Structures are given as C-alpha cells and as structure tokens.
Amino acid sequence: MSVRGWLRRGRGSVRLRVTLLAAGLFAVTLVVASLLLLQALEGTLVDDLRSADRAALEQQATRVFTTGLPPGSVAVGAEVGAAYELPADGNQRFVLMAPSDAVLTSNVLSERADSLRDQVVYTGPVPMASAELLGIAGDPASFDVTTLSVGGVTLATASPLDAVRDTIAATRQLLWIIGPALVVLVAGLAWLLAGRALRPVHAVTSRVAAIGSNSLHERVPVPASQDEIAELARTMNGMLGRLESATTTSRRLVSDASHELRTPVTVMRTELEVARRSPDADWDATSGVLLDELDRMQGLVDDLLLLARGDERAFAQTSFSIADVVRDVAARTRRVPLEVEVAQDVDPLVGDEDAVRRAVDHIVANAARHAATRVLIAVEADDEEVTVHVDDDGPGIPVERRHDVVRRFVRLDEGRTRDGGGAGLGLAVTADVAAAHGGRLEIGDSPLGGARLDLVLVRAGRDDH
C-alpha cells in the first residue's frame, strides 16, 4: 500500500482518530499545567527567598535599635544622607541608610525602638539608587531586594535570583523530557484501549462480511458488556433475523406459487392432449375447462402481484367509497345468497380502491364457499375506523387456527380440495391490504353460527402509520 493510501486509510480509522484526540488533549493539558507549575514554583521560591531576607533584616534592625551601630560597620558612599554596610556572616550584604549621621546615634535609635512595630517592608527588583550601595554588579534584574524602614532608618539587602532561575530552568528541562514521554504513553494507552473497545466491532464486521444469502441463520457475536456495541450487535442480529424470515417467506412463496401454478397448467395440458388424440373431442367442453383453469391462474397471479405490491408498499392513494366497493362485490353471483347492510354516513377512504375491492372479494368469497345457506355483509363506521363485517353460517374457524389462516398458502383441511377454489392466498392478501391501509383483519365468531371476518380500515385523514 502506498503512503498516500495508508494516510487515507488512517484518516478514516476511528482508532487513530481517538488516539490522536486523546494525545492532543493530554498534550494541551500538560502544557497548560506545566506553565502554571513553573509560575507557581517560581513564585514560591521567590517568596521563600524574600521571607528569609526579611527575617534577617528584622534581626539586624533589632540589634541596631537596641545597641546602635554594631562594631565593624563601614560607611559607604551615598548621594543623600548616610549609609553603612553592617557586618554579616556569609556573602549576604546588609546596608543601613539614614537621612544623616545624627539619626544613627545610640540615643536617637533607642528612642525609635518602639517604631519597629510600624516597619514598612519593600520587596522587588533592586532600585537603581540602591544597586551601587548593595554592591550589585551586572543586571539588577538578576537580584531581588528587600528593605525594612523603621523611624526614618532603612535597612536593605539583596539576594541573587540565580538559584531560583536555575531551579526553574532545571524543572523546565525535566518537563521537556517527561512531557513528550507522557504524551507518547497516553497515545499508546489510548491506542490499546481504543483497539480493545473496537475489537467487538471488528468481530461483528468480519461475521457480517462472511454472512451470505445462504447463511442468514448465522448471527454476529454479542459482547458481554452492556454498552452501545452490544446494542449494535443485538440490533444487527434482529435485522439478520428479519432478513432470514423475509428470505424464507420469499422462497416459500416462490415454491408454493410454483406448485399452485403447476396444477392449472397440468390440467390444461392434459385436456389439450386428450382432445388432440380423440377424433370425437368436444372442443366446447375442453375450452370451458381451459377457461376455468385460466381464471384460476389469473386470480392466483393477481394475488401474487397484490402481495408483491403490499410488500413494497406500492399501493395507490386515492379517495374512494367503501360502500360502492362493497355493493360491487356483493353484486357478483355466489353459491349462496348475500345480504348487504351499508351505513349511509360512511366518509370516503384514502387508499388503493382496487386492492381494497379484491380484499373484500376474498373475505366474501371465503364466507360464501364455507356458508351453509347465507352470508351477511355489513359496513359500520365510527369516528376513527370503517369496518366491513362478513358473517356466514358455516362451520366457522377454530380459535387455534385463526392465526394460521392469514398466512400465505395455508388452508384448513376442509378447504384443501380444488373444488373449494382456494389457493390459500385470499385471507393473506386481505390481511396485507388491511395492514397497508393502516387497518387489520379480525377473525371471530359470527352471530349466524359460523365465522365473522372483519376488514377494519382507518377513515380518511386518520392514517398515522
């Protein structure tokens, strides 16, 4: 793989993006924290230095105001007033400054001893006027001066900031070494954790890639964790289950349809072969049989096309009168007489009129085929739904079989003969048409003693599906 291809693939990697994001956020956080740490460390070191200088100045001030100028004090040049360098241990210098020598006499200092409580302390960079007195050479900003003013007398000392700056520089250098190492460590941990978190996704992806049309029974592995990836795996397994069910239904439909279509084709072929071989063939009777079988085949094909349209939700959406549809269906000749009761205030429905007409025809034909003497068709409406009731006085449908009869190519035992005229699609077509129009097909007991089939449809403007 070329470098460009690798980079393109890398940009599309969730694992890489998560790693870079985690490392970047940590790096920014580390830089900000390091700056705050250096600033706080420098402030702490300088404060410690100033506290030590102040304590030393207070000790010098106590001695000066108690016993006067200590022996060994050396006068240093001052542009205004008097200035003396006080003796001290080590390399630190202490300078005492006063408006005049008169202020530095013992009696005057002792009179001002109470003023130690009113001392004024100054800390900060070395004033240019004090730099020469304190013996500071080089950059004055490299020193920090602390002064203590009591009763017109000022004591001053200066400490170099080299130690503070060396400590800050060493800390900064250490952070430059540790910081990138920590960023790399965090990036590595993020890479490993992201890879571990995405491992179930790779397992799901690999399994889905291996599942074909002949292996829809397989399922993707569901991780033990109750997180979004587990939810994704369960959802995908549900989708595979629906696909398997739909594929099985489609294959069964093709197989059953082929079997049902083979019967009329075989009958027509047999009738033609017999008529062809017989010199005294009755072609009128033969044509009648052929037309009957063609009607059977045409009805089966129409039902199959209607089921396909229902699966694709390709029904038309036009306004039509359910009362007119019921009257048209009831006007056809049936084995038993039909009684029709249609409410007068039924509003138009919105949907596929031809599909609804065929659904109504199926339940009426089913009732007429099993009725003993009569079939009653009634249309009722309320604010939400329109219901077409079809009652017969036949044997009825057992409760335990009512769920089965709406499946495709399923017939009860007494309806399996060819003379019954059913291919096992009528109620399935009716149920699909009802569902596509926001309604349902209900099966119950009829007041006439047989079965009641209710085609329930939503009224115009009420379809919320």
SS (H, E, C) 247-269: HHHHHHHHHHHHHHHHHHHHHHH
Using the 3D structure, point to which of 312, 328, 348 is the last residue of a domain: 312
Residue partners of 379: CB distance under 8 A and separation at least 6: 322, 323, 326, 341, 342, 343, 346, 386, 387, 388, 389
Looking at the whole model, is its pTM more than 0.85?
no
Query: Range with the lowest mean pLDDT among 60-74, 109-123, 267-281, 364-378?
Result: 109-123
Q: Are 387 and 455 in contact (CB under 8 A)?
A: yes
Neighbours of 150 (CB within 10 A): 23
> Looking at the DSSP assignment, which residues form a beta bridge with residue 457?
386
Identify whether 175 is part of a domain: no
Same structural domain, 124 and 256: no
Residue 321, helix vs strand vs coil: coil
pLDDT at 351: 87
Same structural domain, 30 and 97: yes
Query: What's the CA gap between 96 and 109, in Å, rounded?
Result: 12
Alpha helices in 282-425 (DSSP H): 283-311, 322-330, 353-370
Same structural domain, 58 and 138: yes
Identify whether 104 is part of a domain: yes
Higher pLDDT, 47 or 200: 47
pLDDT at 178: 94
Query: Which two tokens mark 158?
Result: 């200066």
Residue 37 belongs to domain spanning:
15-165
Query: Range with the lowest mean pLDDT among 36-50, 126-140, 338-352?
Result: 126-140
Neighbours of 192 (CB within 10 A): 12
Domain total of the chain: 3
Residue partners of 20: CB distance under 8 A and separation at least 6: 187
pLDDT at 126: 46
Query: Range with the lowest mean pLDDT among 101-115, 224-238, 395-409?
Result: 101-115
Query: Backbone dihedral region of 421: left (phi > 0), alpha (psi from -120 to 50 degrees) or beta?
Result: left
pLDDT at 89: 76
Residue 356, helix vs strand vs coil: helix
Token pair 């047999």 in the structure block, residue:
270
Across residues 322-327, what is the average pLDDT? 90
pLDDT at 388: 93
pLDDT tens for 258-313 read 777 787 888 888 888 888 888 888 888 888 888 888 887 887 787 777 777 666 66
pLDDT at 68: 78
Same structural domain, 322 and 305: no
- Domain harbouring 308, CATH code: 1.10.287.130
Across residues 367-373, what is the average pLDDT? 91
Same structural domain, 347 and 434: yes
Query: Which two tokens mark 260?
Result: 């049902």
Query: Which two tokens mark 115?
Result: 């003023």
- Mean pLDDT of all residues in the chain? 81
Same structural domain, 139 and 161: yes
Identify whether 178 is part of a domain: no
